[in-house]
Amino acid sequence: MTIPLKDSSDPSAKAALARLEQIKGQLNLKSSAMSLQAPKDMTTERAAADFDIKKLEWLWAGGEDAYNLLNFSYNFIKNDPELVVQPPRNFLEMSRPEAREFAMGQIYRTTQLSKDKALNLTKQQIDSIVWATNIYSETFSMRFFVHASLFRNAVNMLGNKNQQDKWNTKIENLEVIGCFAMTELGHSSALRDIETTATYDIATDEFVLESPTVTSSKWWIGMAGQTATHTVAIAQTIIHGKNVGLNWFIVQLRSQTDGSLMPNVVAGDIGQKVGHLGLDNGWIQFHRNRIPRKNMLSRWVSLDRHGNFSPPPNPAVMYATLIPERLSLVLVTTQLISQAIVIATRYGVVRRQGAKNEQIMDYQSHYVKLVPAISFMYMVKTAQKDLDEQFSILTAGGNMDPATYLNYMGEMHAMAACFKGLTGWYSSEILEDCRRACGGHAYSSYNAIGSIIGDWGVMTTGGGDNVVLLQQAARHLLFRLEQKLKFNQYPKFSFKSPTQYINYAEEYLGNTKWNVSDVSQCLGNFSVVEGALCTILVKRLNSIQKNLESGMTHNDVLLESVRVAEMHCAVFLFSTNAAAYHKSTADPALDKGVLSIMNRLTVLWGLHILYKYSDQGFKEGFLSPEQIKDIEYIYFDYCKSLRSQVIGLTDGFGYPDFIIKAPIAKYDGDIYQAYFDSILQAPGSVDIPPYHEKYIKPLTNQLK
């Protein structure tokens, strides 16, 4: 039985479904006590929520109106065979060619929605449908992101007004499909080593792009493998024989008519990857490829017809497009990781095992791992709003004042860098916890955990290796601390900077020990937790700075610096949520039950940081062994107190079953029948294999 690459209205698909029903009719699929108990457990768990789940869903979605709009979009895409894979096909079983075609079909379908007058959709609804599709498919999300964010952000952040006016409409309408050619085979985000060159030919008023070596090949470039017509490419710029630094250029890769490669451009597909099968990551080489001078993005630089070049006010502005790329990890985190948590949590409350047939979620090994992971999702979601506001100040809608831009960019770069580091590593840890929490069933592709892990894997290195980024963030923190301690200088910002605590460095350094005898004070007082965390951060940064002054190199303190930068981000999440969900500072319109549970999640996150980074406080003599023991005890106990809320909290993410995709995470808890149905729909599930005659029969039929 072959499952066709078509929706269920296709005759061959109908035949496959009929065959499935025939097979099920031959099976004894009577409900067992376990399968009957599972939905009851789910209902009981859902009823245990101390808050209105629907109102928590509103908070997650960004408000009641946003929630209603997103649910309209979920309902719209659910039965659309061009946006959501329909049974008997399974999204998690597609081959690479099928995934590539389907993802591009999703992009095409979403671009046609405004042209379908019968649908009568508003722009807001169309944008929401795109967003719902984005949540459904990480491959679509990444593929569309490369064009709509990376390529477009490069034009808007690095291009002048004429360039923006020329390209933005084409980008919006997908008249051009763009990609972002930064990394090379031998060079990742260490941009100073980039080998691709762009040499200005004053005779023809053109740049000549060249890939001089195999390691200069642009590599891992999303959409470059099969799709992109254009790219923004970074290259060493040679003018009058002199290297004037790195600049960005718009380069056409393929014909907009027939998709063929342009002269002097060679590109191809990288091939099979661990995840993101539907994204055509590719490689690009330029061989004396000529582009006009006007294709050099020129917001911060200029080059006239005679070869007179004006460099950027600071070379760092040429890397600014990496900030939104790294901030996009916020979205990836809340989309992918929260889905994995839903799967592990729902399975954990319906699966019973042990001497007393306990729900496996009741084991400490489960709830102490999953409850903080749930808290983390809500902490990130709230902080995302602050980061978006800060980034909007940085970019000013494309009208950035150079002085303001440069002043704010250091803060935003450091925040984006350490945010990517913390979320990348902790989310990887969460995914492994989710996989283990689902036991052997997580090894089944049909239960989605493996697919999420595959798609997520790139996040710890793509857009910059986490170690490098956290080291960069640590250097910024050390710079801010040095400026404060030596010169009493700290800049003024239009937002509360994540480094604001450094402004009180002298006070924190004066705290020789944590004067808290009863650690349970942390449960009702955010300031107690924040004060301890900020003290530890400042003390650790100061110790690292002293080591550097005594002759150590940055490499000697690399791992210490990375850990402090990671903690810095974790504390930023806590401080942001503490301000948002403290009863005295919270939005008065926020539902009281939702405020209460968010307050509790924030308390848990503060305890999580104290527990996870207690070694940092111990190193400075600030935390005693006894206090660390008390922190662990209270942290575990607080996780236990939130155990009964896990279904309500994960329901708050608002995902329908078709988004989650995993039968062991069915909303109603009826997981066993759903799981069995999924495997029965697999191609050839009960058929004689095509290789039987060639390899099996000669062995088993030897006596005849």
**Mean pLDDT for the stretch of residues 345-370:** 96
Confidence of residue 494 (pLDDT cuts 50, 70, 90): confident
- Please report, rounded to a whole number, the percentage of residues in the chain having pLDDT higher than 70: 95
What is the Cα Rg of the chain in Å? 27
Residue 86 is assigned to a structural domain of this protein: no
Which range (141-155, 489-503, 536-550, 638-652) has the least confidence?
489-503
Q: How confident is the model at residue 702 (pLDDT cuts 50, 70, 90)?
A: confident
Residue 386: is its pLDDT beyond 90?
Answer: no
Locus of tokens 């460095």: 505
pLDDT value of position 249: 98
Rounded mean pLDDT of 269-276?
94
DSSP lists the bridge partners of residue 310 as 302
Reply yes or no on whether the pLDDT at 300 is more than 60.
Answer: yes
C-alpha distance from residue 569 to each of 262, 330, 364, 627, 650 (Å): 44, 13, 27, 23, 24
Same domain membership, residue 356 and residue 297 = no
Claim to verify: residue 421 and residue 309 sit in the same structural domain: no
Is the CB of residue 254 less than 8 Å from the CB of residue 229?
A: yes
Question: Mean per-residue pLDDT for 324-330?
Answer: 80
Neighbour count for residue 18 (Cβ, 10 Å): 10
Report the alpha-carbon distance of residue 127 to residue 131 in Å, rounded. 6
**498: preceding bond cis by omega (within 30 degrees):** no
* 282 marked as part of a ligand binding site: no
DSSP 51-93: S-HHHHHHHHHTSHHHHHHHHHHHHHHHT-TTTSPPTTS-GGG
How many alpha carbons lie under 13 Å from residue 356 in its C-beta half-sphere?
Answer: 5
At position 645, the amino acid (one-letter code) is Q
Residue 607 in any domain: the answer is yes
- The burial class, CB within 10 Å (0-12 / 13-18 / 19+), for 47 is exposed
Same domain, 351 and 411: yes
Average pLDDT over residues 368-378: 98
The band of 16, judged by pLDDT with boundaries at 50, 70 and 90, is low
Domain shared by 448 and 505, yes or no: yes
Answer whether residue 676 shows pLDDT above 50.
Answer: yes
What mean pLDDT is predicted for residues 32-59? 95
- Within-domain flag for 147: no
Strand, coil or helix: what is 352? strand
Average pLDDT, the chain: 92
Segment 233-247 shows an average pLDDT of: 97
The predicted structure's pLDDT at residue 315: 82
Domain contains 668: no
Does 475 fall in a domain? yes
Report how far residue 172's alpha carbon sits from residue 295's, in angstroms, rounded to the nearest whole number: 19
Mean pLDDT (whole number) for 111-122: 94
Q: Are 292 and 385 found together in one domain?
A: no
CA 494-497-499 angle, to 5 degrees, is 150
In one letter, which amino acid is 304? Answer: D
Q: How confident is the model at residue 1 (pLDDT cuts 50, 70, 90)?
A: very low
Per-residue confidence (pLDDT) for residue 398, from 0 to 100: 57
Q: What is the rounded average pLDDT of the residues 366-389?
A: 93
Please say which residue of 292, 318, 344 terminates a domain.
318
Give me the phi and psi of 309, to 5 degrees please: -110, 135
What is the extent of the structural domain holding 244?
Answer: 176-318
Per-residue pLDDT band at 605 (split at 50, 70, 90): very high
243 CA to centre of own chain: 36
Spell out the alpha helix ranges (H) of 48-191. 53-61, 64-78, 96-112, 123-136, 138-145, 152-158, 161-172
Q: Please count the residues of the chain.
A: 704
Mean pLDDT over 660-682 rounds to 94
Band (pLDDT 50/70/90 cuts) for residue 5 is very low
pLDDT score of 4: 36
Q: Is 563 a member of any domain?
A: yes
Which pLDDT does position 6 carry in this prediction?
47
The answer to whether 558 and 467 are in contact (CB under 8 A) is: yes
For residue 601, the number of C-alpha atoms closer than 13 Å in the C-beta half-sphere is 32
CA–CA separation, 235 vs 191, rounded Å? Answer: 9
Domain termination site, one of 629, 651, 673: 651
Query: For the domain that residue 236 is a member of, what is the CATH number?
Result: 2.40.110.10
Banded pLDDT at 263 (limits 50, 70, 90): very high
- Judgement on whether residues 330 and 281 belong to the same structural domain of the protein: no
Q: Between 514 and 583, whose confidence is greater?
A: 514
| Residue 262 within a domain | yes
pLDDT band at 313 (very low <50, low <70, confident <90, very high): confident
**Residue 623 phi/psi, 5° resolution?**
-105, 135
CA 603-606-610 angle, to 5 degrees, is 140
Residues 519 and 589 in one domain: yes
Residues 438 and 566 grouped into a single domain: yes
Backbone angles phi, psi at 75, to 5 degrees: -65, -30
Is 684 labelled a binding residue? no
**Is-above-0.85 flag for pTM?**
yes
Q: Of the candidates 96, 157, 147, which has an alpha carbon nearest to the alpha carbon of residue 321?
A: 157
Mean pLDDT for the stretch of residues 282-301? 97
Q: Are residues 374 and 481 in the same domain?
A: yes
CA distance 464 to 469: 6
Q: Which residue has the higher pLDDT, 400 or 61?
A: 61
CATH of the domain at 367: 1.20.140.10
Could you give the CA distance from residue 506 to residue 428 in angstroms, rounded to a whole number? 36
pLDDT value, residue 314 = 81
What pLDDT does residue 691 have?
Answer: 95
For residue 427, pLDDT over 90 is answered with yes
405, 311: one domain: no
Secondary structure (3-state) at 466: helix
Provide the pLDDT for residue 327. 80
The two three-digit tokens of residue 502, written as one number: 């450094």
Determine, yes or no, domain membership for 703. Answer: no
Helix (H) or strand (E) holding 197: strand 197-201
CB 334 within 8 A of CB 638: no
DSSP state of 268: E
Task: Report pLDDT for 256.
Answer: 97
pLDDT of residue 2: 30
Residue 384: CB partners within 8 Å, gap ≥ 6? 330, 331, 334
For 283, the token pair is: 């490689």
**What pLDDT is attached to residue 317?**
79
Question: Tell me, what's the pLDDT at 3?
Answer: 31
Q: Which of 195-204, 368-377, 460-469 bottoms out in mean pLDDT, i.e. has the lowest?
A: 460-469
Per-residue model confidence (pLDDT) at position 15 = 67
Indicate if the pLDDT at residue 653 is higher than 50. yes
| pLDDT mean over 320-343 | 87
**Is pLDDT at 396 greater than 70 in this prediction?**
no
The predicted structure's pLDDT at residue 12: 62
Residues 584, 438: one domain? yes
The fraction of the chain above a pLDDT of 90, given in percent, is 81
Convert the pLDDT of each residue in 166-176 to its tens digit: 999 999 999 99
* Structural tokens at position 598: 């968010």
pLDDT, position 325: 80
| Same-domain check for residues 385 and 268 | no
Residue that wins the pLDDT comparison between 565 and 401: 565
Cβ atoms of 486 and 699 within 8 Å: the answer is no
Instruction: Give the C-alpha separation, 136 to 661, whole Å.
Output: 9
256, 290, 318 — which closes off a domain?
Answer: 318
More confident residue, 322 or 576: 576
Contacts of 662 by beta carbon, 8 Å cutoff, 6+ apart: 343, 446, 447, 448, 449
Q: How far is CA 316 from CA 156, 195, 312, 313, 380, in A?
A: 16, 18, 9, 9, 27
Q: How many domains does the chain have?
A: 2
Residue pair 221/285 in contact (Cβ under 8 Å)? The answer is no
Cα–Cα distance, 514 to 614 (Å, whole number): 12
